[in-house]
Every structure is written in structure tokens, then in C-alpha cells.
């Protein structure tokens, strides 16, 4: 009597066996390594379906690679610092540390219930001092290498909470917590010189096996621009305003200059001009982000000061515009409203001159954004934009009004955050002068909060800040992107309290496959690439890139929309694991859609996945492997058909796992093989030849399905007793000779309608095939005595008689 398939008891038993045997702990050996890493989660307390999909994808690939005899390393940890923990701590009246650690415990239990083959001995959490002490050391090393500096920067300031707010915390110009009107304030912050690596970050993208759209997003973010720095003399002074332009061919169309409200000249003028002072105060209430500036109404004020055009010598008005950012370019924009949408909007609003200096074949309507032929541009008329740009730059250089310049959109990385729950920045101030603390004094430990006390910025914790003798601590903490920019490297040496990196790091890096959402395409992935290159240059690690291959998985949708609490369309993974088992949930996630595309959640399809696993169970449970020598066997036609199907399926699944990550088509092929097995093979009384073929099909099904549904396959493998090895210890070999086609099914049509099918040996000639097809009874009756006007033959597939 076949036992019932009970996922809960099987999965618990198999997971216990894996844990007690330390099955997935990784050590250096002489095999080829494979480091598979899924982006570690923020410990929110509960897994969501996006987590389940992401981590199952990584686990399927890791398990398959083990079967291919790779030495696989698949760790897991927690991106544990950050603002959500502070907010939750306030709401739940617990410390961020307590809240975070409890959430980690809950989520770790859930991850284990999914049967993910993680090396938990290398677990990391970024909020542990054993982790962030090394982050502080990296900061010191970067400082020593000239990659760190401190400068004033504009931030969103909440005057009631006395803290900096992220752009997303500013709601309708007010602080999300206090409701106070947010101000733009200039404060000292720490920066890391990512711009030193702009060229390399751009150029080495071509060497990465990453999705093209992700590489393009990074290219655009880095934003390399070739252009000119152009100087405009302020009339009545010897001073100049400097602008950067990628379109020097439009210089004859400049009708105004616009300063950033935070430009030193704007601030200086406001001291003497009440109107301008009030305008700058209005600008301070706006968000500081580039994206927000682009959407905001274009506001400006005329300073009354004029500049001289460097070529025409005409007077140009100098305005202050709320759309000009100080930290992009020079903080001064040359306004060319005839050929720039933003400048056109601004000039139209304030009745400034709009000049056409470029002619385009595509449109006559201003603004014309295309390059084209110059008009109204003096001696440059009739030249192309490319020709004129070179000559105009040369004229500016010759007359001392400019130079050719390469500029990047990428800005240095401001890493200071005025938060409690983050890694303390290892700096002290002696009489106001900053010093990085000595390595022997690290880590600077985040101070514990009193029970029930709400987290506050470190600046408000006196015992932490004041060290005596006029020495104070830095009160900012690091941006959490600092924590996640190097975790991939620390995983390799986790547990080593003496060294940040060791021989394991050299062995395991780079990550062979990195898996995560496309929303991380720019910041996290760019910062991680920078960190890796900077760590390389200071001799801490080797290699040029952290992640060889990147897989960006699609979202999990319900009712056509991304799952979210606000939409009320979330699905709790644990309830489905409890109801159907982890293997069913994993199988459903991998079968429903290719990994890089969105997946629409559908419970009836989950039930379908469960039914398939039950079919696998019923076929194999209770059977034992019988060793038979192939040389002693004589295979029937049905035997050979099953063998061919088994090996063809193995080849397809191997290709899907290896090259395409086509887990959905791999599962479909396994299902097809299961359905292909004739009913007569499922009886107890079989001859040895048929037993051999069924044995082979069973072994292949378990091996191919094991990466996706590991618990049921592990259990059935143990019971089947093929060998004493772990099911993941080897992968079957494909017998290519069985894949050679000896015969094929020919579809026979008469006037385009199917009238019959026949199996034909591949060595038959076209004439022989025609005769065989005409002699099929149903075909013969439709052709009759009528002449065949035309015969269309598609090799090894179809023949059509036109009568």
C-alpha cells in the first residue's frame, strides 16, 4: 500500500537531516567554485512572496550547480540598520535592536521552512558590532587613501525634530513625523569620492554579464558628457560665472543665465535685496532632489545684474532659478530656450528672448532639441552641430572664455545620516577639527537605549558625544548603503574576528551569480562596484568587479498589481507553505513564469503544482532500485521510446538550468516525461529491459526535479536506494546516441487539411515517403483517382497533397 504524500512531515524530517549533517556548509577544496548570492533582506519581520521567489531562484541554481560538482557557496544575512526599524521602535515602544533581532529570528525560521540550502554558519547581520567594526575600518582606509572628505551640503531639515529628512519623508513640504515646515539647510557631511572611479565604473560595464537595461541605467546615472566649460564675465566687475554645456553649438541662442538659489552669488545678493531674500526662502521650502526639481514649477527672479556673452559681447540677464542644482555642473545654467524644454518653459513664463539657432529637418516648432544646421550664428551659419561645436570651443579657448571638458552626472556619495539606528562614523573632533579614530579603538559601538526609550539622533545622547577635554564624537551614522556595499565580500570570511578578509575571500570572490530586483540597478549595485574597486586599490581584495553575472527577477503580482499592504492584495507565504508544503510553493514559483518576468499569483495553479508532486510520489514511492546490466538487455520499441524521451528531457532541462534559467520550461519538460511513461510500465511485473528503462526515468525525474522540489526528491531518493550518496552529489550523463532520430511522425494533409499520420524511418527518400503517405487509407479515399497537382513536403514533419 502506497503511503500518502505528507509534505509537512517529509519536509521537517529532511530539513532536520540537512541541519544535523551540516549539508550546506562550504569549505575551500580543489573543485571549481560557484558563489551564488541573493540580495539579503531587510528584516521587516515577515517574508513576502517577492522574497520567496528571489530566494527560490538562487536556491534552484545553487542545488543544480552542486549536482554538477561545483563547490557551491550560498550564504544569507540581514541588512539590519535603517530608518524603518527606528519608526517601528517608536510605534511598538521597543528598542530598534530588540525589534530587529526578533524579526530576524522570525524570518530565519521562515527561510529554513522553504528548504533553502544556505550556509547558515556564515550568517551576517549588519547591526552587529562584529560586522560594522570592519565597516569603520574600511572608512578609515578610504580616508587614508584620499577617498573621504567633509563638506557642507544642502539637506531637508526638520526644525522641530532637529534632524535631516530623506526626500521621501517630506510630505507636502512638511516633516512626516512632526508636521513642521521643512527647510533646506546647509550642514557638514562626510562624502566618499566615488567620482574618482567614474570612468572605470562606466568602461568596465561592458565586461559584465548583466542585463543590458541595468547596464544602460548605470551608464545614464554615471552620465558622462563631453562638452565645454564656458565663462561669462559679470558686467562691471572682473568676476566670471562658469557654466558647463554639452551643446556649445547653441551658444548664440543664450538669452539668460540662471543661478542656483544656493550659489554663493545668490546668497551674497540676497543680503542686500529683500525680494531675492524672500525668493530664496521660498526655494528653501522645496525638496532638494533632482527628480523633484524637474517636476516642480519653474520659478525665478531677475537679479538685475548682467553678464557679457563670450562671443557676441551682448548683455545677458542673470536670473536665479529654483530648477538649478548647486551640486550638478557649476550651479549656473546658460539658458537656451529655443533648444531646451526646461529653458523654453522658464523663458515663456518670464517673457525672456527665445532665439532659434539650430535648424532641423524633423520640426520647425520650438524648442528644437535635435542637433542640426546652425542659423543666426554669425560665421558658423550653415555648419552642422558637430562641426560648429568644435570650432566654437576652439574660439572660446583662444579668447580665454572656455575649455573643452568631460563632466559626469555622478556626484560624490554623501554617507552621513542623522539617525540613531546605523553604524557610527568613527570620527572624533578635537577643538572642532575631525580625526579618524585609531584602528585599535574600533569599533565605536552604538550606545544602548534605556528600556522603552524612543531612538533619538546620537547628537542627543550626551554620554556618547562628550569625551572630555573638548573632545566630542561624530554624531552621524553611515548611510545604510555603506552596510550593503561590501557584505558580499565579508560573507566569505564571516566568523573571522581577527581579519576583515582572508584566504576564503580570495577563493570565493567574485560572486558568480547575484540575484535581486531591478530597483537596485543604480544605487546599491553602483556603490558595490565602487567599493570593490576601491578595496582592490588599497590591497584588501582582488579582482575588478564584485558580481560576474546578474539576474534581476520579476515582481510577484496579484490582480495585475504589485503586492502591497496599501492595495490589500498581499499573500502570506507561510500560510501556503503550511497548507501545501514548501516544495509546492517553490514549484509554483518556478513554473508560472520565467524568472526575469513578472508572476501573477493564482491559488488554483498552486493546487496544480501540488497535484503534480502527488503524481511523482505515487509513481516512485515504495519502489526500490534494481541494478541491471545494460549489455544483457534487449529493448523493445516502447522501451527505446521511453529511454529516448528520458535522455531528451535530461538534455533540455540541463540546458534550461545551465544557460537560460528557464525553470518554467524545465518543469514542463519533466511533467511531459512523467506523462509519457506508459501505464504498463507502472505495474509490478515488468521484464528486466522495461525495468531498466523505468529505473532510468525515475532517476532522471528525481535528479531534474530535486533543485526545485528538494524535500520530496530527497525523501524518495533515500527510499529508492539507487546509491548511498546525497541526491545532489552528481548529475546524470546524457547518451547522445539515443537522441539521434531514427523515425519521425509525418503529418499528411490533402488540400491543407489533416487526413492522417504515419511513422516514417528517417532514411526514406522523398519519393518513398510520398508513396507511403498516399497509401494511408484516409488519405487514399480523399485523393481517389484525382490527379495530384502539387506536393509540398516539409522535411521530417509534414506532406501536403494539393488535388
Task: Mark the binding-site residues, compressed into ranges.
Answer: 565
Q: Which phi and psi angles does 478 have, rounded to 5°? A: -75, 145
Q: Could you say which DSSP state residue 211 is in?
A: -
| First CA to last CA distance, the chain | 59
Helix intervals (H) in 466-502 = 480-484, 487-490
190 near 143, Cβ under 8 Å?
no
Which residues, 6 or more positions from 413, have their beta carbon under 8 angstroms from its beta carbon? 191, 192, 194, 479, 481, 527, 530
Instruction: Please report where in the chains the cell 557584505 appears, as a residue.
Output: 487
**How are beta strands 511-516 and 547-552 bridged, if at all?**
parallel
Distance, in Å, from the CA atom of 351 to the CA atom of 201, rounded to the nearest integer, reads 43
Distance, in Å, from the CA atom of 772 to the CA atom of 24, rounded to the nearest integer, reads 58
Distance, in Å, from the CA atom of 18 to the CA atom of 479, rounded to the nearest integer, reads 37
Distance, in Å, from the CA atom of 553 to the CA atom of 589, rounded to the nearest integer, reads 11
Q: Which of 122, 108, 115, 123 is nearest to 19 (CA)?
A: 115
Q: Which phi and psi angles does 761 have, rounded to 5°? A: -70, 140
Known binding residues for ATP? 565
Q: What is the dihedral of CA 417, 419, 425, 427, to 10 degrees?
A: 100
**Using CB atoms within 10 A of its CB, is residue 792 exposed (0-12), middle (13-18) or buried (19+)?**
exposed
Which residues, 6 or more positions from 363, have their beta carbon under 8 angstroms from its beta carbon? 370
Cis peptide before 367 (omega within 30 of 0): yes
Distance, in Å, from the CA atom of 72 to the CA atom of 64, rounded to the nearest integer, reads 10
Helices then strands, counting H and E runs in the chain, come out as 26, 34
Q: Which of 721, 722, 638 is nearest to 681 (CA)?
A: 638
Range 445-450 contact pairs with CB under 8 angstroms and sequence separation of 24 or more:
445/129, 446/127, 446/129, 446/420, 446/421, 446/422, 446/477, 448/95, 448/97, 449/95, 449/96, 449/97, 449/420
Amino acid at each position: 500500500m502506497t503511503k500518502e504524500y505528507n509534505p509537512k512531515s517529509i519536509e521537517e524530517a529532511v530539513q532536520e537531516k540537512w541541519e544535523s549533517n551540516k549539508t550546506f556548509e562550504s569549505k575551500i577544496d580543489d573543485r571549481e567554485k560557484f558563489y551564488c548570492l541573493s540580495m539579503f533582506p531587510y528584516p521587516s519581520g515577515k517574508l513576502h512572496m517577492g522574497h520567496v521567489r528571489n530566494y527560490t531562484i538562487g536556491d534552484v541554481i545553487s542545488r543544480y550547480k552542486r549536482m554538477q560538482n561545483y563547490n557551491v557557496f550560498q550564504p544569507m544575512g540581514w541588512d539590519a540598520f535603517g530608518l524603518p526599524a527606528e519608526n517601528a521602535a517608536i510605534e511598538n515602544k521597543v528598542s530598534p535592536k530588540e525589534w530587529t533581532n526578533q524579526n530576524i529570528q522570525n524570518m530565519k525560521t521562515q527561510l529554513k521552512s522553504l528548504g533553502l540550502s544556505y550556509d547558515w554558519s556564515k550568517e551576517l547581520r549588519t547591526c552587529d558590532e562584529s560586522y560594522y567594526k570592519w565597516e569603520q575600518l574600511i572608512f578609515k582606509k578610504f580616508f587614508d587613501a584620499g577617498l573621504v572628505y567633509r563638506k557642507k551640503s544642502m539637506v531637508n531639515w526638520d526644525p522641530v525634530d532637529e534632524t535631516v529628512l530623506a526626500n521621501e519623508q517630506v510630505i507636502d513640504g512638511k516633516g512626516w513625523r512632526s508636521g513642521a515646515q521643512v527647510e533646506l539647510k546647509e550642514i557638514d557631511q562626510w562624502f566618499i569620492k566615488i567620482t574618482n572611479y567614474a570612468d572605470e565604473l562606466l568602461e568596465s560595464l561592458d565586461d559584465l554579464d548583466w542585463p543590458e537595461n541595468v547596464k544602460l541605467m548605470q551608464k545614464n546615472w554615471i552620465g558622462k558628457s563631453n562638452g565645454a566649460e564656458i565663462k561669462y564675465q559679470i558686467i562691471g566687475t572682473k568676476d566670471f560665472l562658469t557654466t558647463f554645456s554639452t551643446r556649445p553649438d547653441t551658444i548664440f541662442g543664450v538669452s539668460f543665465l540662471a543661478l542656483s538659489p544656493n550659489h554663493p552669488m545668490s546668497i551674497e545678493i540676497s543680503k542686500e535685496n529683500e525680494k531675492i531674500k524672500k525668493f530664496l526662502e521660498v526655494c528653501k521650502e522645496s525638496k532638494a532632489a533632482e527628480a523633484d526639481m524637474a517636476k516642480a514649477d519653474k520659478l525665478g527672479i531677475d537679479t538685475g545684474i548682467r553678464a557679457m556673452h563670450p562671443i557676441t559681447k551682448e548683455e545677458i540677464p542673470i536670473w536665479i532659478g529654483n530648477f538649478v542644482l548647486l551640486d550638478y555642473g557649476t550651479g549656473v545654467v546658460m539658458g537656451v530656450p529655443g533648444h531646451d524644454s526646461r529653458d523654453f518653459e522658464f523663458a515663456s513664463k518670464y517673457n525672456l528672448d527665445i532665439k532659434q539657432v539650430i535648424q532641423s529637418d524633423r520640426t520647425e516648432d520650438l524648442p528644437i532639441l535635435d542637433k542640426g544646421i546652425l542659423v543666426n550664428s554669425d560665421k558658423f551659419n550653415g555648419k552642422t552641430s558637430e562641426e560648429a561645436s568644435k570650432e566654437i570651443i576652439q574660439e572660446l579657448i583662444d579668447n580665454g572664455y572656455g575649455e573643452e571638458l568631460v563632466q559626469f552626472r555622478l556626484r560624490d556619495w554623501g554617507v552621513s545620516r542623522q539617525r540613531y539606528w546605523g553604524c557610527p562614523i568613527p570620527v572624533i573632533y578635537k577643538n572642532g577639527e575631525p580625526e579618524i579614530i585609531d584602528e585599535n579603538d574600533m569599533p565605536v559601538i552604538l550606545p544602548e537605549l534605556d528600556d522603552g526609550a524612543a531612538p533619538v539622533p546620537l547628537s542627543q545622547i550626551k554620554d556618547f558625544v562628550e569625551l572630555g577635554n573638548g573632545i566630542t564624537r561624530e554624531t552621524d551614522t553611515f548611510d545604510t548603503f555603506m552596510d550593503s556595499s561590501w557584505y558580499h565580500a565579508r560573507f566569505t570570511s564571516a566568523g573571522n574576528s581577527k581579519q576583515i578578509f582572508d584566504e576564503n575571500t580570495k577563493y570565493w570572490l567574485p560572486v558568480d551569480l547575484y540575484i535581486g530586483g531591478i530597483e537596485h540597478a543604480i544605487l546599491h549595485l553602483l556603490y558595490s562596484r565602487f567599493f570593490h574597486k576601491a578595496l582592490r586599490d588599497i590591497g584588501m581584495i582582488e579582482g575588478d568587479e564584485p558580481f560576474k553575472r546578474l539576474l534581476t527577477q520579476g515582481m510577484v503580482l496579484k490582480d495585475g498589481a504589485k503586492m502591497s499592504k496599501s492595495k490589500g492584495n498581499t499573500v502570506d507565504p507561510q500560510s501556503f507553505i503550511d497548507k501545501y508544503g514548501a516544495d509546492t510553493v517553490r514549484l509554483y514559483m518556478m513554473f508560472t513564469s520565467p524568472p526575469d518576468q513578472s508572476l501573477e499569483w493564482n491559488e488554483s495553479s498552486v493546487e496544480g503544482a501540488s497535484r503534480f508532486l502527488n503524481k511523482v510520489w505515487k509513481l516512485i514511492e515504495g519502489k526500490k532500485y534494481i541494478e541491471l546490466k545494460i549489455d544483457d538487455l534487449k529493448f523493445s520499441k516502447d522501451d527505446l521510446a521511453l529511454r529516448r524521451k528520458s535522455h531528451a528531457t535530461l538534455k533540455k532541462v540541463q540546458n534550461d538550468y545551465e544557460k537560460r534559467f528557464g525553470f518554467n520550461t524545465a518543469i514542463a519538460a519533466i511533467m511531459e516525461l512523467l506523462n509519457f511513461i506508459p501505464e504498463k510500465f507502472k505495474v509490478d511485473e515488468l521484464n528486466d529491459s522495461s525495468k531498466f528503462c523505468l529505473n532510468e526515468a525515475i532517476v532522471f525525474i528525481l535528479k531534474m526535479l530535486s533543485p526545485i522540489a528538494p524535500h520530496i526528491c530527497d525523501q524518495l531518493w533515500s527510499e529508492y536506494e539507487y546509491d548511498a550518496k546525497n541526491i545532489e552529489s552528481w548529475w546524470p550523463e546524457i547518451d547522445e546516441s539515443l537522441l539521434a532520430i531514427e523515425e519521425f511522425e509525418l503529418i499528411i494533409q490533402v488540400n491543407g487539411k489533416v487526413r492522417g499520420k504515419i511513422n516514417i524511418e528517417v532514411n526514406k527518400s522523398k519519393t518513398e515517403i510520398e508513396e507511403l503517405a498516399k497509401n494511408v487509407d484516409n488519405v487514399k479515399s480523399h485523393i481517389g483517382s484525382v490527379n495530384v497537382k502539387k506536393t509540398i513536403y516539409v522535411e521530417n514533419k509534414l506532406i501536403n497533397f494539393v488535388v
